[in-house]
Structure 1
Amino acid sequence: MATATLSPPDTHKLSNLKSSVANLNQISENEKSGFINLVARYLSGEAQYVEWSKIQTPTDEIVVPYDTLKPVSEDSAETKMLLDKLVVLKLNGGLGTTMGCTGPKSVIEVRNGLTFLDLIVIQIEHLNNKYGCKVPLVLMNSFNTHDDTLKIVEKYTNANVDIHTFNQSQFPRLVVEDFSPLPCKGDAGKDAWYPPGHGDVFPALMNSGKLDEFLSQGKEYVFVANSDNLGAIVDLKILHHLIQNKNEYCMEVTPKTLADVKGGTLISYEGKVQLLEIAQVPDEHVNEFKSIEKFKIFNTNNLWVNLGAIKRLVQANALKMEIIPNPKEVNGVKVLQLETAAGAAIKFFDHAIGVNVPRSRFLPVKATSDLLLVQSDLYTLTDGFVVRNEARTNPANPTIELGPEFKKVGDFLKRLKSIPSIIELDSLKVMGDVWFGADISLKGKVTIAAKPGAKLEIPDGAVIANKVVIAYKLSKLSFGLVLVGGKAKGCECDPLANGT
Structure 2
Amino acid sequence: MEKLDHIKSHLATLSQIGENEKNGFINLVSRYLSGEAQHIEWSKIQTPTDEVVVPYDTLAPLSDDPAETKKLLDKLVVLKLNGGLGTTMGCTGPKSVIEVRNGFTFLDLIVQQIENLNKKYGCNVPLVLMNSFNTHDDTLKIVDKYANSNIQIHTFNQSQYPRLVAEDFTPFPCKGQPGKDGWYPPGHGDVFPALMNSGKLATFLSQDKEYAFVANSDNLGAIVDLKILNHLVKNKNEYCMEVTPKTLADVKGGTLISYEGKVQLLEIAQVPDAHVNEFKSIEKFKIFNTNNLWLNLNAVKRLVEADALKMEIIPNPKEVEGTKVLQLETAAGAAIRFFEHAIGINVPRSRFLPVKATSDLLLVQSDLYTLVDGFVSRNSARENPENPSIELGPEFKKVSNFLSRFKTIPSIINLDSLTVTGDVWFGAGIVLKGKVKIAAKPGEKLEIPDGIVIENKEINGPGDLSS
Q: Distance in 2 between matches of 1:412 and 1:74?
A: 45
Q: Is the 8 A contact 1:20 1:184 kept in 2?
A: yes
Q: Distance in 1 between matches of 2:81 and 2:371?
A: 22
> Residue 369 of structure 1: SS of its match in structure 2?
helix
Q: Distance in 2 between matches of 1:48 and 1:329?
A: 27
> Residue 169 of structure 1: SS of its match in structure 2?
coil
Q: Distance in 2 between matches of 1:276 and 1:342?
A: 13
Match of 2:167 among 169, 173, 177: 177
The aligned residue for residue 71 of structure 1 is: 61
Q: Distance in 1 between matches of 2:144 and 2:391?
A: 37
> Residue 374 of structure 1: SS of its match in structure 2?
helix
- What residue identity is the alignment partner of 1:405? E
| 1:114 Cα deviation from its structure 2 partner | 0.2
> Residue 31 of structure 2: SS of its match in structure 1?
helix
Q: Are 1:59 and 2:13 an aligned pair? A: no
The aligned residue for residue 476 of structure 1 is: none
Q: Distance in 2 between matches of 1:413 and 1:381?
A: 19
Q: Are 1:289 and 2:289 an aligned pair? A: no
The aligned residue for residue 373 of structure 2 is: 383
Q: Are 1:99 and 2:69 an aligned pair? A: no
* 1:400-447 Cα distance to aligned partner (Å, 9 max, x none): 000000000000000000000000001000000000000000000100
How do residues 180-219 of structure 1 correspond to structure 2 at under 5 angstroms? 180-219=170-209
Q: Distance in 2 between matches of 1:248 and 1:22?
A: 37
The aligned residue for residue 8 of structure 1 is: none
Q: Are 1:457 and 2:447 an aligned pair? A: yes
> Residue 5 of structure 2: SS of its match in structure 1?
helix
Structure 1 vs Structure 2: percent identity of aligned residues? Answer: 82
> Residue 423 of structure 1: SS of its match in structure 2?
coil
Q: Is the 8 A contact 1:176 1:335 kept in 2?
A: yes
* 1:131-160 Cα distance to aligned partner (Å, 9 max, x none): 000000000000000000000000000111
* 1:224-275 Cα distance to aligned partner (Å, 9 max, x none): 0000000000000000000000000000000000000000000000000000
The aligned residue for residue 373 of structure 1 is: 363
Q: Distance in 2 between matches of 1:275 and 1:470?
A: 45
- What residue identity is the alignment partner of 1:447? K
- What residue identity is the alignment partner of 1:284? A
The aligned residue for residue 5 of structure 1 is: none
- What residue identity is the alignment partner of 2:408? S
- What residue identity is the alignment partner of 2:100? V
- What residue identity is the alignment partner of 1:65? P
| 1:328 Cα deviation from its structure 2 partner | 0.5
- What residue identity is the alignment partner of 2:238? E
Q: Distance in 2 between matches of 1:138 and 1:432?
A: 42
Q: Distance in 2 between matches of 1:328 and 1:49?
A: 25
* 1:188-237 Cα distance to aligned partner (Å, 9 max, x none): 11000000000000000000000010000000000000000000000000
The two structures have a TM-score, normalised by structure 2, of 0.99
Q: Distance in 2 between matches of 1:241 and 1:37?
A: 35
- What residue identity is the alignment partner of 2:137? D
Q: Distance in 2 between matches of 1:74 and 1:470?
A: 57
Match of 2:135 among 129, 145, 164: 145
Q: Distance in 2 between matches of 1:356 and 1:168?
A: 29
The aligned residue for residue 224 of structure 2 is: 234
Q: Are 1:162 and 2:152 an aligned pair? A: yes
| 1:481 Cα deviation from its structure 2 partner | 4.0
Q: Is the 8 A contact 1:419 1:438 kept in 2?
A: yes
The aligned residue for residue 494 of structure 1 is: none
**Moved runs in structure 1, 4+ residues, more than 2 A?**
479-482
Q: Are 1:249 and 2:236 an aligned pair? A: no
Q: Are 1:18 and 2:1 an aligned pair? A: no
The aligned residue for residue 407 of structure 1 is: 397
| Bigger relative CO (Cα 8 Å, ≥ 6 apart) | 2
- What residue identity is the alignment partner of 1:392? R
The aligned residue for residue 393 of structure 1 is: 383
Q: Distance in 2 between matches of 1:415 and 1:480?
A: 20
Q: Distance in 1 between matches of 2:382 and 2:301?
A: 45
* 1:259-292 Cα distance to aligned partner (Å, 9 max, x none): 0000000000000000000000000000000000
Match of 2:263 among 270, 273, 278: 273
- What residue identity is the alignment partner of 2:460? I
How do residues 310-321 of structure 1 correspond to structure 2 at under 5 angstroms? 310-321=300-311
CA RMSD after TM alignment: 0.9
Q: Is the 8 A contact 1:267 1:273 kept in 2?
A: yes
| 1:187 Cα deviation from its structure 2 partner | 1.3
Q: Is the 8 A contact 1:49 1:282 kept in 2?
A: no
Q: Distance in 1 between matches of 2:454 and 2:387?
A: 18
The aligned residue for residue 81 of structure 1 is: 71
Q: Distance in 1 between matches of 2:264 and 2:441?
A: 48
* 1:74-127 Cα distance to aligned partner (Å, 9 max, x none): 211000000000000000000001000000000000000000000000000000
Larger radius of gyration between Structure 1 and Structure 2: 1
The two structures have a TM-score, normalised by structure 1, of 0.93
